[in-house]
Structure 1
Amino acid sequence: MSQPSTWPLPAGSSRVVLPLQLTRQLDQHPLTKHLYPVAYGHYVDALGHQVERQQHTDHLLIFCHRGRGWFRTHNASGSVEAGQLLLLPAGQAHAYAADHEQPWSIYWAHFRGSAAVQCSDFLSLSAQSPVLTLSRWRQLIPVVTDLLNLQTQRYQFSAAIVAASLLQRIIAELPRLTSAMQIPAGFDLRALERFMYDNSHRDISLDEFSEFAGLSRYHFSKKFKQITGSSPMRFFNQIKVKLACQLLDTTTYSIRQIGQQLGFDDPYYFSRLFKKTMGISPQYYRESSHMTHSQTNLLNPQQGR
């Protein structure tokens, strides 16, 4: 297998490499042998991400949803912008990297199968023109989310079969998403929520959320409030506080470090926001959580064993 890059994963990123034994099973199973993933993931703001391969045994899809990058093969070279997909067939030496000024955020998948070689023709791509522009790519976010959420079950064969079916669906959907049809006056809340979780380490503006949804600031805020009962920024901050609670429960990071991981440079602002949302300070939340856990272990001594 062409190993994925070992680029260090920042907050919000993920990488799944299926074990060799599992991919061999997928290569033999009637439901998956025509097309299945061997690795996949999501790199967020991938500054410094760069790969060069002379030997390439897998097919590789790279979809850029923010920022930009570049690629080079023997037959073509160019940039990959937000909303564009790059397909690199097996056997083709290549290089690619994130842009230094606007590093890309990408979904990617290494894949194989008896039908994998037909993907270029299916997507109307060629060695000279390996980039596809998707005008309605956000419709695929729920399927991509389901695929990424399988990472906790990646060593289970049943989950691997589901991963193969989701990758097949993603590729099957791509041609119809190239149409320049007008974006509907609304948005997929599930896709937007995934976007918020993926970018929980950043300080995102309302403009960026409305751009993701394909609406003006006014119509986006109005529609969001109608659906959720909350403003977009308040909803986003609630997600950050939820993630902060998880970090307070499971790590020994300082309050400042947790705030920085969630895009807050000012620890005092982070603490005020946390207290406004939870009713208590981050420090008191951590102390109360640890005290409750200790009391539970005293009452149920077998749990800690």
Structure 2
Amino acid sequence: MPQSLATPPGFVMWRTLPQGDDPGWKRQWFGNELDAGAVLNVRGIGIREPMFNADVHRPIGTGDWLIMFFHRPARLRRGEVEPSVEANTLVLWPPGAEQFYSFGTVANVEPHSWMHVEGSWVAAQVDENRLPVGTPIVLEDDALVVATLESMMEEMTAHEVPDRIILGNHFQNWARSVARSLQTRDPQHRIPAAILAVRAHLDEHVAALPVLDDLATIAGMSRSHLCHQFRRYFGTTISRYVVRKRMSLAERLLYDVTVRPGQIACMVGYPDIYQFSKQFKKTFGVSPTRYRRQHARANEG
């Protein structure tokens, strides 16, 4: 059975599991290393975990996909005191996207289920099934989410070496089932293929300066309509999406000490290292060099 880590990554507000009787919920962290080249990496799973922390806000996300299901009404907008989404709401936050969530009314009681996953397989299934990203969607009940998380956790914990194909099948079946449920009840939830094509182009050419006219041609619509549709489905502007993708990639590349900051700047679309450092500090609060130094010390410890 894989050995779980003693501490999760810094972006997770963690609490020790209760000792003794089964608390009625599950949580397991499987690793804290982001892998930019991963096909499918299951980093953590929680099932019916009470929401301990109020107003969890991550301006640039967690570097991976956070897929979260709220069993009860929850707050997904900053500054609100009343729940903004109903029970059985699902949200898919992609790498680099801003995250905010909180319990609806009572801490330590209201449950949520979640998984931290990353890799090209995850993105491919989300795109192929046209699942809404960053937009709350309501499912009929929690059975689909909980059953999949139970199966994935079983695969991750019951075997010395988890089978990535089995895990991939679980995730694919879940994505297809969610898509079928949404399409049956509300075809408007489907992300248009034209908008997905624009996002795929941005992801593939993250270092290039996006030209709105070119993106509009790919989408087959006017520039203003494209901007409106992109924000509608992905919850952010095209320019902010590109910056988040660039900074997320830069963060990962800084873990490779063989790559100089100047090289990373060019790799993520900043020929001018000054502009790259300025944007990185604006995003993470420290310069790229200091960020690398801090995390190098943390890894040594």
Give the alignment's TM-score, normalised by structure 1.
0.45
- Report the structure number with the largest CA radius of gyration: 1
Give the structure with the larger helix fraction: 1
Give the alignment's TM-score, normalised by structure 2.
0.45
